[in-house]
């Protein structure tokens, strides 16, 4: 589906009432309003960052600390001229959402503790360029200026008008254009033959002396050319930061995405409070905590929500006071085959599971460095320098979870959606976890442990019975008394009998024929589905 909009922005904020607690009533009111409509909020002018900023302004919050409520906003961008024609766009979208979430986590850990190193340096190097060459250049400059001054005086006595043409000509002009070339350009047709002999001789000598300095100036410029790019002064500024810590309870609450015709962007807002941290810990351990009920059940909420633009994790309080973390994973469906759908479903499910894990517990680290350099270097022209600057930035942000056992996490909904920006089909998986679900998983695990023990014991008993049977059979094989008894009976029966054989009648079994039709196998009753 071709996208006709120049700017397409999708805002998805799925947080139920009481998500931030009573002390942040304004936030809850805004959230309630966003949930009254199934359709994602849309803007044709704002970027994802703009929408995120507008939302924070509406609820009276800023990025960073808000008296115990920390707001972290992460944004990731992707150059993309046409999402609809990019078969990997939805995969890239998922990756960029992870980047945005990670950026928000970086802000959080850097706020708590940052190890910083910084340095500013100004360097004036000692080199032949700044010592010997400077002295040589100054001597040549003085020589040229002195000869040029004598020439101007001699020309002034001979012809004031011609001398006036030299006003504004200084060493920089002579060095750049050359002495002979400059004089020829300014006084191309001046005829000194009509001058008084002494004036003519003085002017000729002054001109000859000035022209003689051309050699000195040329030698200086040749030497300068070899020093082109030589450093005269260097300013360096650098800074490096490092943060690393375990994070619990930093919960994404809203997501935004946009495309302006050239660049796709996604923004995720995450919050942390002591209450969020305690709530997350209680959920993970399965503590029985009842919160103020929300407006609907988790089933109704999920089924009534358009998940085509949602990314990350959401908080939810159901109508029974259970606290949920809902994670939205998505993956493009590339093709109509069973494999394509199964692959998309699996990737979406794993993405959703990963996001829940990172909210519950993660080890996050951030290392950033920036370096600016300003250099003043010589050019190929006498007396001239130029400024050159360069900047660099490097960043490594990571989060990881290792061997974290999570109970009570399950898929609550899986469905195919069409992404409104790209028009591409994707599979969306909604995973959920709640304290109640964790407790249920714990009960199921304990029940499974008990029944497993019973099954192991029963299996061992059964193996014992089988071993007893096998031993009895083996002992019977080794018992020769029955063999001897049978041997004697056989001998007795083998002796001739005097009585005539009795006539016996027998009936042959009735032969049957094949019957066409179908039959239900016996033994399957209604209890099969009990």
Report percent pLDDT > 70 for the chain.
Answer: 76
Residue 444's pLDDT is what? 94
Local structure of 448: helix, strand or coil: helix
Local structure of 404: helix, strand or coil: coil
Cα 494 from Cα 41, distance rounded (Å): 103
Torsion angle, alpha carbons of 431, 432, 438, 443, to 10 = -60
Cα 196 from Cα 313, distance rounded (Å): 99
Residue 33's pLDDT is what? 45
Cα 344 from Cα 427, distance rounded (Å): 6
265 has a pLDDT exceeding 90: yes
Cα 346 from Cα 459, distance rounded (Å): 36
Top pLDDT among 198 and 2 is at 198
pLDDT band at residue 18 using 50, 70 and 90 as cut-offs = very low
pLDDT band at residue 20 using 50, 70 and 90 as cut-offs = very low
229 has a pLDDT exceeding 80: no
37 has a pLDDT exceeding 80: no
Q: Which of 150-164, 208-222, 309-323 has the highest mean pLDDT?
A: 309-323
Weakest mean pLDDT among 64-68, 231-235, 306-310, 346-350: 231-235
Average pLDDT over all residues of the chain: 80
Average pLDDT over residues 487-501: 74
Instruction: Provide long-range contacts, Cβ within 8 A and 24+ apart, for 211-218.
Output: 211/179, 211/180, 212/147, 213/140, 213/143, 213/144, 213/147, 213/179, 214/178, 214/179, 214/180, 216/140, 216/143, 216/144, 217/140, 217/144, 217/174, 217/175, 217/178, 217/179, 217/382
CB atoms within 10 A of CB 373: 15
**Tens of pLDDT, residues 272-324:** 999 999 999 999 999 998 899 999 999 999 999 999 989 999 999 999 999 99
Top pLDDT among 270 and 120 is at 270
Q: Are 437 and 444 in contact (CB under 8 A)?
A: no
Which of 407, 405, 403 lies closest to 286 in space, CA to CA? 407
pLDDT band at residue 211 using 50, 70 and 90 as cut-offs = confident
**Tens of pLDDT, residues 388-445:** 677 888 899 999 999 999 999 999 999 999 999 999 999 999 999 999 999 999 999 9
Average pLDDT over residues 87-109: 95
8 has a pLDDT exceeding 70: no
130 has a pLDDT exceeding 70: no
Q: Sign of dihedral through CA atoms 450, 454, 455, 457?
A: positive
The angle that helices 435-478 and 274-285 make with each other, rounded to 10 degrees, is: 20
Residue 404's pLDDT is what? 92
**Tens of pLDDT, residues 506-518:** 444 444 444 444 4
The angle that helices 132-158 and 197-226 make with each other, rounded to 10 degrees, is: 160
58 has a pLDDT exceeding 50: yes
Top pLDDT among 285 and 383 is at 285
19 has a pLDDT exceeding 90: no
Cα 321 from Cα 512, distance rounded (Å): 70
Cα 89 from Cα 153, distance rounded (Å): 77
Q: Are 251 and 325 in contact (CB under 8 A)?
A: yes
Q: Which two tokens stand for residue 65?
A: 């600390």
Provide the residue count of the chain: 530
Residue 411's pLDDT is what? 97
Top pLDDT among 18 and 56 is at 56
64-66: strand order across its sheet: 41-43, 8-12, 251-259, 263-272, 69-79, 64-66
Average pLDDT over residues 364-383: 74
SS3 readout for 453-488: HHHHHHHHHHHHHHHHHHHHHHHHHHCCHHHHHHHH
pLDDT band at residue 209 using 50, 70 and 90 as cut-offs = confident
Q: Which residue(s) pair with 331 in the sheet?
A: 427
Q: Are 87 and 93 in contact (CB under 8 A)?
A: no
Weakest mean pLDDT among 1-5, 56-60, 64-68, 409-413: 1-5
Report percent pLDDT > 90 for the chain.
Answer: 48
Residue 161's pLDDT is what? 80
Q: Return the exposure string of 304-319: e unless at least 16 CB atoms fall within 10 Å of the residue's CB, then b.
A: ebebbbbbbbbbbbbe
Weakest mean pLDDT among 22-26, 125-129, 295-299: 22-26
Residue 7's pLDDT is what? 40
pTM: 0.66
Residue 347's pLDDT is what? 96
Average pLDDT over residues 246-259: 91
């Amino acid at each position: 589906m071709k996208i006709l909009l120049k700017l397409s922005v999708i805002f998805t904020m799925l947080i139920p009432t009481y998500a931030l607690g009573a002390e942040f009533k304004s936030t809850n009111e805004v959230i309630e309003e966003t949930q009254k409509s199934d359709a994602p909020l849309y803007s044709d002018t704002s970027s994802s960052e703009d929408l995120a900023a507008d939302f924070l302004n509406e609820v009276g919050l800023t990025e960073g600390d808000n008296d115990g409520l920390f707001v972290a906003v992460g944004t990731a961008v992707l150059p993309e001229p046409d999402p609809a024609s990019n078969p990997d766009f939805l995969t890239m979208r998922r990756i960029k959402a992870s980047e945005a979430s990670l950026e928000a986590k970086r802000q959080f850990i850097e706020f708590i503790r940052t190890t910083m190193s910084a340095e500013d340096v100004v360097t004036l190097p000692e080199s032949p360029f700044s010592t010997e060459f400077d002295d040589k250049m100054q001597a040549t400059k003085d020589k040229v200026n002195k000869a040029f001054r004598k020439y101007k005086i001699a020309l002034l006595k001979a012809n004031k008008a011609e001398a006036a043409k030299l006003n504004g000509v200084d060493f920089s002009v002579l060095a750049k254009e050359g002495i002979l070339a400059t004089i020829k350009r300014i006084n191309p047709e001046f005829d000194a033959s009509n001058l008084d002999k002494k004036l003519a001789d003085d002017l000729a000598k002054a001109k000859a002396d000035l022209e003689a300095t051309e050699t000195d100036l040329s030698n200086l410029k040749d030497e300068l050319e070899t020093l082109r790019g030589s450093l005269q002064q260097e300013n360096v500024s650098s800074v490096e930061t490092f943060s690393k810590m375990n994070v619990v309870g930093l919960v994404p609450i809203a997501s935004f995405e946009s495309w302006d015709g050239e660049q796709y962007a996604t923004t995720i807002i995450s919050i942390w409070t002591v209450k969020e941290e305690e709530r997350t810990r209680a959920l993970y351990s399965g503590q029985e905590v009842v919160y103020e009920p929300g407006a609907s059940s988790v089933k109704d909420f999920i089924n009534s929500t358009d998940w085509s633009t949602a990314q990350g994790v959401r908080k939810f309080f159901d109508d029974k006071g259970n606290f949920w973390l809902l994670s939205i994973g998505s993956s493009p469906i590339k093709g109509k085959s069973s494999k394509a759908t199964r692959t998309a479903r699996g990737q979406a499910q794993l993405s959703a599971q990963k996001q829940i894990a990172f909210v519950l517990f993660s080890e996050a680290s951030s290392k950033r460095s920036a370096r600016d350099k300003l250099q003043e270097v010589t050019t190929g022209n006498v007396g001239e320098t130029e400024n050159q600057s360069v900047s660099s930035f490097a960043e490594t942000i990571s989060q990881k979870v290792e061997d974290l056992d999570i109970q009570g996490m399950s898929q609550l909904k899986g469905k195919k959606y069409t992404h409104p920006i790209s028009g591409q089909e994707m599979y969306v998986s909604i995973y959920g976890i709640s304290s109640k679900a964790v407790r249920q998983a714990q009960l199921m695990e304990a029940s499974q442990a008990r029944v497993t023990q019973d099954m192991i014991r029963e299996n061992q008993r059964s193996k014992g019975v089988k071993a007893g049977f096998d031993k009895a059979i083996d002992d019977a094989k080794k018992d020769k008394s029955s063999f001897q008894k049978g041997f004697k009976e056989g001998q007795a029966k083998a002796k001739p009998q005097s009585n005539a054989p009795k006539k016996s009648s027998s009936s042959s079994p009735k032969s049957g024929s094949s019957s066409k039709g179908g039959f239900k196998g016996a033994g399957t009753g209604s209890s099969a589905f009990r």
